[in-house]
Chain A
């Protein structure tokens, strides 16, 4: 029996749960891709599932498709990505600070609540047919002639559980970091001043802010700074989405108790600005900062060299926080009701701030590797490089669509969702999380990754599959194919859909190679020991807690 620490075991549990959610999200993605390619192909499965769906009528294929499409990103982002991030940070933050997590009891609580919240949302779409999409444009989520009332309430409850849980996780992160860097008491405003990097700015001008909580300099590792800064975005995201979810819940419960409220009481444009301001804190905020932080941590470890340009990197992390607060209007470039000055400033110019912050981040990452030559291309380093490619591709596509002129022909097309969003998520964030898993397993368990060949199969199938799928659908988007639209056959997008389907299968092969390798590395007994109580296992099997 391998003996590992309590925290390490929980990190592995988070990783396993995250991978299960990735498999769920991928399976749903494949089902939807199948439906787009051959709309009749899933009829048998639909009929079987309809027998256990708690809805009054026989749902149409479109209702099933849009129910799945609504929860697909929730499972992918709040299931896979957040689970893996929580698990990794719960190990790495105390490891780097040489200090235990401040509130250890929250670790299993976060695990359970995240899983419950994601599964509730998933069931609201997959079984309850809630279909208002993750964008939840007002008043669609409360238009009960289009979305099922019970599904809407269930989705809002699930989302609220997720958001409250994320707030608890962020509190634990801040609490752990701050208890190390500044054991004194501090006020909320002192904390906010530090969080937004005011002491760092003052230092640039030769002044010391001695009363502020330290979040950004005086010895904290760059990774911790990035986690701290990214968690500001995480908190804002959770609070804003909680208000939106709360609003939907109030309307839902009112309708449920036969006292429906008037949806026109809420202005759709104000709501959309508020919602996207918060939602973008994930897409253009914490995702970039957490990613940068993980690159800054992993790359020096993997190539055994100090991070290049560390002082610039710390400033970049702070700048990225400010940029993320102002970019949301790039999601409203198609809204002619949004003032032009907002579309130009927030939508286009401030969005380019990310070009600078990510440009400098990637430069620092690549220069660190370059200066460390010759380097050993371990699986983790290969996946880090793959993730950098994903962020370059996804970022370039994002800048093209976040343009007042070009958005006119790209908005809501497959370009946005494939070449930008899925490249970011599958090639960028996905490969980064695989890199973290490849790097952390030996650290956590003292076991070496078993098969380099399987790791290579995973790498090549995943990167080729994700890039080709993104390009195929991106090309379909540039030819006018809309996202969230089922086209009857025949349609001009079928060749692109066929290529994307094959690419999805390539990614599946890569993912299976990864799972086989990880299970082979850990052994079945160890994997089982993550979910089965220790006393049920024989003394010689499983990962026991020290």
Chain B
């Protein structure tokens, strides 16, 4: 390696270290609990998905701002996705829902309001129908 290559290699290492350190750190809000603190959930919400239908708890989903909620999703047939979206359609989080496995994610909402749920994985031609408006109520 000549001098220019060594300098460039150093730049690459620096970018690698900085980017990974920042994105693995609590500077990315959800990394605080998904990667580092692993708190005990305050609430557990079970979701079952089968035949293009997302079955939420019959009583609905109501959570408090700041409480830790564990969403546990299962599939009865093919792979789906479980995605939570703000009213302006931007995504809050998502996970894959794989058949034969329990798929769970811990989340803490920091903004009150209503949130939509949509399947985020293609599961067949009726996939776009898998949308539930105002599925989650987050209370201040």
Q: Could you tell me which A residues sit within 8 Å of B by CB distance?
A: 60, 62-63, 66, 131, 133, 137-140, 143, 145-147, 264, 267-269, 272, 309, 312, 332, 334-337, 348-349, 352, 355-356, 359-360, 363, 367, 399, 403-406, 408-409, 411-413, 479-482, 484-488, 491-493
Q: Is the CB of B96 within 8 A of A405?
A: no
CA distance A355 to B20 in the complex (A): 12
Establish whether residues A334 and B95, one from each chain, have CB atoms under 8 Å apart when the complex forms: yes
Decide: B20 and A411 in contact? CB cutoff 8 A.
no
- Nearest Cβ on chain B to A129's Cβ, whole angstroms: 9
16 A-B residue pairs with CB within 8 Å: A140-B78, A140-B79, A143-B78, A268-B98, A268-B100, A352-B20, A355-B16, A359-B12, A363-B5, A399-B19, A405-B31, A408-B30, A409-B94, A484-B127, A485-B122, A491-B89
Which residue in chain A gives the minimum CB-CB distance to B28? A405
Contact B118 A482 (CB under 8 A): yes
Q: Judging by beta carbons under 8 Å apart, are A269 and B5 in contact? A: no
B137 CB within 8 Å of chain A: no
Supposing A337-B98, A406-B28, A484-B127 touch, asked if A137 and B88 sit within 8 A by C-beta, the answer is: no
Query: Do residues B103 and A337 form an inter-chain contact, with CB atoms below 8 A?
Result: yes
> Do residues A405 and B102 form an inter-chain contact, with CB atoms below 8 A?
no
- CB contacts under 8 Å to A, within B1-51, are 1-2, 4-5, 8-9, 12, 15-16, 19-20, 23-24, 28, 30-31, 34-35
Please measure, in the bound complex, the distance between the C-alpha atom of A409 and the C-alpha atom of B31, giving whole angstroms: 13
Is the CB–CB distance between B128 and A269 below 8 Å? no
Once the chains are docked, how many angstroms separate the CA of A479 from the CA of B120? 14
B90 and A336 contact, CB distance less than 8 A: no
CA distance A328 to B89 in the complex (A): 29
**A63 and B128 alpha carbons, distance in the complex (Å):** 11
Q: Are A486 and B128 in contact (CB under 8 A)?
A: yes
Contact A349 B20 (CB under 8 A): yes
- In the complex, the answer to whether B125 meets A137 with C-beta atoms within 8 Å is no
Q: Is B124 an interface residue (CB 8 A)?
A: yes
Q: How far is the CA of A293 from the CA of B126 in the complex (A)?
A: 43
* Residue pair A269, B101 in contact (C-beta under 8 Å): yes
**B123→A140 contact, CB < 8 A:** yes
Is chain A's binding surface mostly helix, strand, loop or mixed?
Answer: loop
- With contacts A137-B78, A312-B1, A405-B31 known, is A335 near B125, CB below 8 A? no
Q: How far is the CB of A349 from chain B (nearest CB, A)?
A: 7
Given A63, A335, A356, A492, which contacts B12 in the complex, CB threshold below 8 Å? A356
Report whether B89 and A492 are in contact in the complex, using a CB–CB cutoff of 8 Å. Answer: yes
What's the minimum C-beta distance from A72 to chain B, rounded to whole angstroms? 13
Bound: A351/B24 CA distance, A:
15
Contact A268 B123 (CB under 8 A): no
Distance from A357 Cβ to chain B, minimum over Cβ atoms (Å): 10
A482 — which chain B residues lie within 8 A by C-beta? 83, 118, 120
Task: Name the B residues within 8 Å of A349 (CB-CB).
Answer: 20
Complex Cα distance, B86 from A334, in Å, reads 19
Residues of A within 8 A of B95 (CB): 334-336
Contact A406 B99 (CB under 8 A): no
Q: What are the residues of chain A within 8 A of B93 when measuring CB–CB?
A: 408-409
Assuming the A-B contacts A137-B78, A309-B2, are A143 and B100 also in contact, with contact meaning beta carbons closer than 8 angstroms in the complex? Answer: no
Q: How far is the CA of A309 from the CA of B79 in the complex (A)?
A: 47
Of the candidates B19, B94, B101, the one whose C-beta lies within 8 Å of that of A268 is B101
Nearest CB in chain A to that of B24: its residue: A405
Min distance, Cβ A12 to any Cβ of chain B, angstroms: 38
Q: For residue B99, give the distance in angstroms from its CB to the closest CB of chain A.
A: 5
- Report whether A409 and B91 are in contact in the complex, using a CB–CB cutoff of 8 Å: yes
Which residues of B sit under 8 angstroms from A411, Cβ to Cβ?
94, 96, 120
Q: A137-B78, A309-B2 are in contact. List 5 more A-B contacts (CB 8 A).
A: A62-B125, A137-B79, A363-B5, A480-B89, A492-B88
Would you give the shortest CB distance from A80 to chain B, in whole angstroms?
23
Residue of B nearest to A143 (CB): B78
Q: Indicate which residue in A147, A268, A355 contacts B99 across the interface (CB closer than 8 Å).
A: A268
B105 interface residue per 8 A CB criterion:
yes
Q: Is the CB of B35 within 8 A of A404?
A: yes
User: In whole angstroms, how far apart are the Cα atoms of A66 and B125 in the complex?
Assistant: 7
Q: Once the chains are docked, how many angstroms separate the CA of A203 from the CA of B15?
A: 30
Residues of A within 8 A of B100 (CB): 264, 267-269
Query: Within 8 Å CB of A485, what residues of B?
Result: 118, 122, 127-128
How does the 8 Å CB contact mask read for B79-117 relative to A, with 1 for contact and 0 for none? 101010110111111111011111111000000000000
Closest to A60 in B: B125
List, in ascending order, chain B residues with CB within 8 A of A359's CB.
8, 12
Asked whether A334 and B81 contact (CB < 8 A) given A269-B98, A408-B94, the answer is yes
Q: Are B91 and A480 in contact (CB under 8 A)?
A: yes
Given the contacts A146-B123, A309-B1, A405 and B90 also touching, CB distance less than 8 Å: no
Provide the residues of chain A in CB contact with B8, threshold 8 Å: 359-360, 363
A531 to chain B, nearest CB (A): 37
**What is the distance, in angstroms, from B5's C-beta to the closest C-beta of chain A?**
6
Q: Tell me if A484 and B122 are in contact (CB < 8 A).
A: yes
Residue of B whose beta carbon sits closest to that of A129: B125
- Which residues of B lie under 8 Å from residue A488 when comparing CB positions? 128
Q: Are B94 and A334 in contact (CB under 8 A)?
A: yes
Q: Are A146 and B20 in contact (CB under 8 A)?
A: no
For B104, what are the chain A residues with a Cβ–Cβ distance below 8 Å? Answer: 336
Q: Take A131-B125, A412-B121, A485-B128 as given contacts and tell me if A360 and B5 are in contact as well, using a CB distance cutoff of 8 Å.
A: yes
By the criterion CB–CB under 8 Å, are B91 and A337 in contact?
no
Residues from chain A with a CB closer than 8 A to the CB of B128 are 62, 485-488
Q: Does B77 contact A (CB under 8 A)?
A: yes
User: Within 8 Å CB of A403, what residues of B?
Assistant: 23
Q: Complex formed: what's the CA distance from A187 to B18 in Å?
A: 46
B53 CB, nearest partner CB in chain A, Å: 13
Q: How far is the CA of A424 from the CA of B78 in the complex (A)?
A: 30
Name the A residues within 8 Å of B79 (CB-CB). 137-138, 140, 268
Residues of A within 8 A of B90 (CB): 479-480
- Tell me the complex Cα distance, A312–B92, Å: 43
How far in angstroms is the closest Cβ of chain B from A489?
12
B120 touches A405 (CB 8 A): no
Whether B81 contacts A412 by the Cβ 8 Å rule is yes
